[in-house]
Every structure is written in structure tokens, then in C-alpha cells.
Structure 1
């Protein structure tokens, strides 16, 4: 007699929820994979209450779902349930278990999720939520990153517009979206205004706005006169209106980016794990906050450094069949985490000799820049994971590989 057939022993029951915008398809199955109940709940307070009531009635032990955040997950965890996140890419592949058509159907996907939890639960990791402080920090840094991308897009639109309207100002200063460049375009927004400038007038204006003087005003004036002429007259004044529309948008975005940076700084200063991530070389404030927010503070999510590296996409994917072995780029990853880790690793080589040596050796082996950065990022994650799990800061004096490299350099120059 099996355990499942023993009187008084409750048979395991699992459920799958296919998340949607307005309604969620739910499937509850028994330990043999047979559906017990299928239903749909609305994305509302009443709907989520009904969801938990039905799950209670059937004694559901574990639930599979495609995403790990939002009101549905919050309601399930608040009820003390074990939630397993099965990414959509895996669900798509798992459909092949049950047929070759591979069609997308909400009710069927709910069953696939429930059955996957039933059969593969030992391979799945229960969802562990980060603290509210980390969740808040993650929202702040991701929003700032989105706004920075918007600023780049608007700057590119402004540059394309100025190619015709006012070519002389595009490369006048180092960056078109720098404060001095935007101030200049705001003041001298037409070709007629540029033609009015003389070296003396340009010098006076630059002095009035506190220009740092990195480039001599005479050189700047020469750049203006050597550039192709823009649109003058009434047409030029009409195009200046478009210029100011882009400038106003850039000003608004930049102001909000600065405000978010201040919020990020305040949130990071209060976070218990702040010391770990700010101790990393060239981590700064925003970069340290991104690393902390994307890695999180739920230690149980990453039992090994390798599990963190795989989710970050800096460990290659290896496929082997017989004598054939293929090592390929890992696609199914947390892209936000990979971006944060690679951004840190790529810049760390400018301040850490060990990181620079690891990167240079990867380049010398023929790897391109992104690949070399991922190799360096994987090495850094071993260190970060150790610091993260032991709640200790990064100490260059305790970094054996770094000290070994420094000792070699001292011996070579001695």
C-alpha cells in the first residue's frame, strides 16, 4: 500500500495560476495529476479572497505561477502558501510534455503550472520575498534607469532636429545633454542668434553662466563659424519652437532623475546591507543601490554563488549530448540583474588591478568586450555572494587574488 493510499494520510494537492490583466485562470490537481477544479477569478479584492477560499477548501500544498510579484502573489504569501515561480519561457517549453501543438491557452497553462509543481517540485525554489526596504529601492533604481533611457532617446531626437536647424551647437561642447550645452542652446536657439556672437560676446556669456573654461572661448567661437549654417529668418524661429520643446522635455526628465537619485541615496543609507555593496570598488551610490536592489536580501534565494551567476546570465549555458558539447550565451536570465552586475564589473577594472588583469587576460584570449565583462562579472559574483551571505564588507587586503597580483608587480619592479 502506498503512502497516498494509507487511510488518514492527505494526498498532496497542487495548483497553477495563469496570470492575466483582468482575470486569472486557476487549475487544482491531485497527486495523480488529475484536475480537481478549474475556475477563473477576477483581479480584484473579492476575486483574490475567493481564490484563497477555494485553495483552502482543497488543501492546496503548493502553487505554480509565472511571475513573482504583484497582488496575486502577495495574497498567496499572506495566506502562508508556498509559491513556486515558473518563468513563461519554461512554461512554453513545458507545453511540449502534453502535446506537440504548443498552443497558448490560459486554462491549459494553469494545468501545466500545477502539474510541473507536482512532478518537479524538488527542482524548484520556493519564492522568497525581499524586505520592503529592498523592494522600494528596486523600484527607485529601475525607474531612474528608465528615465535615463528616456533622456538618451530625447537627446538623440534633439540631435537629429539640430542637424538641420542648428548644426553648429551639436558638437560645440562635449555632450549635447550637458548643463552648459543645454543652457547655450536655450539662449542661442537660431542661426541669427549665433551670427550675433563674437569672441568677446561669447566670452562674456560663458563667464555669466559660470563656465568652467575647459575649452577656450576663442576655440568655441571658431567651431561655431566653421560649422555649416543653420536655418535663419522666420523659418529658423519656427524651428526654435521645436528646439525648446525638446529642451523643456530634457529639463523635466533631468530634474526627475536628480530627484530619484536623492531618494535612492536616502533609501540606501538606511538599508542594513548598504555597507556590503558600497565597499565594492567604484560602486558609488546609484551603482551600489542597483546591485543591492537586483540581488536582494533574501539569502535563501541563492544557496550558491553559481545559482546567482546563472540568474545574472554571466555563467555560460552548457549543452552536451554524446561527444558534442556546446557552450553558449545564456538567454533565460534576469536582465535587470545582469545589467547591474555587468555595469559594475565593467567599471571596476578602472580601480581594481585584479579586475583589470582578469579583463585584459580575457581580451587577450580573443573575447570581445561584452564577453570579457561577463567573465569578470562572474568572478566578482563569487566575491559578492561570499560577502553577502556572511554580511561582511569587501576588503582589498583580504582579497587573496588581488594581493597575490600586487605582490607579483612589486617583485617585478623591485
Structure 2
């Protein structure tokens, strides 16, 4: 162990810290690299308390750095720590920390060391197993935050849209038959103005036709819809139910309208940030990568320096399967420990790419013919795509389908036989 500690010693660092973060209070354990002396302490979860603690430490560092192991890669504490230049973050996966504790202290006794001390042990003695946090460049970080946040609000819009559909099925089901997209502007505008059938039927026929024409419907469609409105029959007559449901639908409509406005603002910010990114031309060249998917792929790939090789990218994004081996048994499983948003990005794009990419469609069909299920085939296609993406980003060149197909034929790839002439 002593030899390993000497190998792990880094003169750039004055101290190592295991940082057990919490919502209200943090517990830390520190070891000085020169003397091996340890200190323990607590501090409140406030920027002021963290600033005082690090200020006191920096006065003792003599210009050297401090390494901090923490069970967090993103979050409030990490963002606060990153503003100090002397701090190097070593993220530790919570599962790894838990298994490390279980291996050293299987009893689970109250006298066992605190999590902060366990993280310190992991950092001091097994730092070769950890990787310091490396931030992407500013355009990539900005874009990744924007596309993740946009996806969150799109999911919220979908959730509230489902709630709206559920309420309308009870007292105003005709709306669901009149319009295909319950979250579309015509539906929301209609419900904001006439939240129940009785109110809608009191409107003049000319008013109804004008309303629908304002939402890009033909005069014939508007006239036919006005007839359907006048012929509609109320689904319920219970005044108590109607009053409460109308109130909730009005609230949901207002929420959905605000979400639509916010998502458009995200779209504008994403488009502007994407255009300024140095690798935007590569992302735009990819088949099936439109105004939504291209920025997501750009955020996933960054400037091409995030991954050392294609296999690392495939594992880090959850596209590559994981092999579990025990004795003579080997099982290939779906990789669950990964950033879900990144895995979802490549998975969804693989499906989009088949619409315009000949070899992608042929490869998917080949896998399906061989017995692969839909999502397994998409992951295999995404796996293949990632090798191509890694090379494009590494070389700084746009994707060229004709070159790739020519390469397949030159290598006599089995896939070339599936390609349409």
C-alpha cells in the first residue's frame, strides 16, 4: 500500500478531501499530502460557509491545489466548488462509494467511518481509479444545458397535455375528435375562450368559422366544423363536475400556453448557440439531424475532445452493452449506468437517420431479419453511427454518405449487399 501511495503522490496537491454533501450540511475529511495529518469538519450548505472554509484552506496551500472527492458530477455543490481555481473535483459514482464501504466495512456498524472519510480513503489510495472532472468548452456546456432543459419542458408539456385530455374525455370529448394534437395552438385558444360545449354553442356561426380560419383552416373545413359544434350533445350535466373540471382545464390551458412560449424561447437560444459552435457544420451534415436533433448531437459530441476513442464514447453514452461474466457464464446486458439523456439522443437519432440514410435503413433491416428486436436494432445502429461520428469530429470533417457507401463496397462489407442500387 505504501508503494501505491508513493505512486499516487502528486506534488501539485497540498491536500485531499473527501466531501460528503447534503441538502443542509456537508461533512468533510481532509488529509495533508506532506504530513499525512487528517482533519474532520462540518459546514452549512451556503455559498458563504463554503467560501470561508475554502478561504481558510487556500491560506495554507502555498499556491498548490486541493483535490476533492464527492458523490456528485453536477449539482449545486459542484458548481460552487468549480469557481475556485485551486480545486480539482474527483466525481465518485454513488454505487462505487457504496460498494467500497461494503467491501471495507460489511457490518454496517455505527462505529464505521463516515462517508467523507470513505471518500478520502478512495481518493488517497485509489486515485488511479478516479478521473478528475473535465469541463467541456463554453459553447458545448451552454448547448448541453439548453437542450436538456428544453427536453424537460417538452416532457412537462406532454404530461400536462395528457392531463388535459383526461379531463376533456369526461365532459368535453368532442374536442378530442375535432383536433388531432391536443396541445396545438387552435385547441388551447379554443378552450381558453370556450372551456365547455355550452359556451361554444352560444357563439355565432360566423365567429366559429372566423376562429378556425385564423388557425389556417380552409373555409370549407371551418364551415363543416361549425355544423359539428351545433350538432354536438353535452357529455354530462352534473354542474358540480362541470364547474370543477372547467376550472382545472382553464388552469391547464394557461400552463400549456406558457410552456409553448417558453419552449420557443429555448428553440431560439439553442439555434443561436448552435450556429456559434465550431462543430456546427458537422452536426448539420448528419442525415436525419434537423433543428431539434442536430443541436442535441452537437451537445453530445462537443468539440471532439471529450472521449479518447469511439469505444469510450459508446460505453459512456450507454449505447454499448455490458458483459457480465461469472466463471464460464457470460451474459450481455443492456447498459443502465449512463447519462439517460445522451443515450436517448443517439437512440432517437438512429431512428431518424433511417429516413434519409440508405445504409442505415439497410443495416436496420438486416438486423431485424436476423431476429433483433426494434430497440436492440436501433442501439446496434447507434453503435455503428458513433464510430462514424467519432471519426468525423476527430478529423473535423462533415459526414459524406457517398464516401461511406463507397467504403462499404470497397471492403466487400456484407451490408453492401443490402443496399439498394
TM-score (norm 1): 0.83
| Deviation at residue 253 of structure 1 after TM alignment | 0.8
Q: CA RMSD in A?
A: 3.8
SS of corresponding position for 1:39: strand
Aligned partners of 2:111 and 2:294: how far apart in 1?
A: 41
> 2:209–2:222: 8 Å Cα contact kept in structure 1?
yes
The 5 A counterparts of 1:269-348 are: 269-297=275-303, 299=305, 301-348=306-353
Aligned partners of 1:225 and 1:395: how far apart in 2?
A: 56
Could you tell which deviates more after superposition, 282-291 or 63-72?
A: 63-72
Deviations 1:147-184 (A, max 9, x none): 11111111111111111110111132221112233334
Structure 1 pair 395–226 and aligned structure 2 pair: CA distance change class (3 A): farther
Q: What corresponds to 1:164 in structure 2? A: 170
Aligned partners of 1:389 and 1:340: how far apart in 2?
A: 20
| Deviation at residue 365 of structure 1 after TM alignment | 3.2
Aligned partners of 1:200 and 1:402: how far apart in 2?
A: 63
Structure 1 pair 283–208 and aligned structure 2 pair: CA distance change class (3 A): closer
Structure 1 pair 149–73 and aligned structure 2 pair: CA distance change class (3 A): closer
Residue 90 in 1 paired to residue 96 in 2?
yes
| Deviation at residue 402 of structure 1 after TM alignment | 7.7
Aligned partners of 1:17 and 1:41: how far apart in 2?
A: 11
Aligned partners of 2:304 and 2:416: how far apart in 1?
A: 37
Deviations 1:260-298 (A, max 9, x none): 111111111111121222221121222222222234337
Q: What corresponds to 1:390 in structure 2? A: 395
User: Which of 108, 112, 116 pairs up with 1:110?
Assistant: 116
Structure 1 pair 56–286 and aligned structure 2 pair: CA distance change class (3 A): farther
| Deviation at residue 353 of structure 1 after TM alignment | 1.6
User: Which of 26, 50, 54 pairs up with 1:51?
Assistant: 54
Aligned partners of 2:394 and 2:284: how far apart in 1?
A: 16
The 5 A counterparts of 1:135-174 are: 135-174=141-180
Q: What corresponds to 1:264 in structure 2? A: 270
Structure 1 residues without counterparts, runs of 5 or longer? none
> 2:5–2:125: 8 Å Cα contact kept in structure 1?
no
Structure 1 pair 179–61 and aligned structure 2 pair: CA distance change class (3 A): closer
Structure 1 pair 401–307 and aligned structure 2 pair: CA distance change class (3 A): farther
Structure 1 pair 111–173 and aligned structure 2 pair: CA distance change class (3 A): same
> 2:318–2:337: 8 Å Cα contact kept in structure 1?
yes
Q: What corresponds to 1:15 in structure 2? A: 17
Q: What corresponds to 1:64 in structure 2? A: 69
Structure 1 pair 73–178 and aligned structure 2 pair: CA distance change class (3 A): closer
| Deviation at residue 60 of structure 1 after TM alignment | 6.3
Residue 123 in 1 paired to residue 129 in 2?
yes
Aligned partners of 1:351 and 1:241: how far apart in 2?
A: 46
Could you tell which deviates more after superposition, 179-188 or 119-128?
A: 179-188
Q: What corresponds to 1:359 in structure 2? A: 364
Structure 1 pair 45–161 and aligned structure 2 pair: CA distance change class (3 A): same
Structure 2 residues without counterparts, runs of 5 or longer? none
Could you tell which deviates more after superposition, 339-348 or 361-370?
A: 361-370
Structure 1 pair 117–298 and aligned structure 2 pair: CA distance change class (3 A): farther
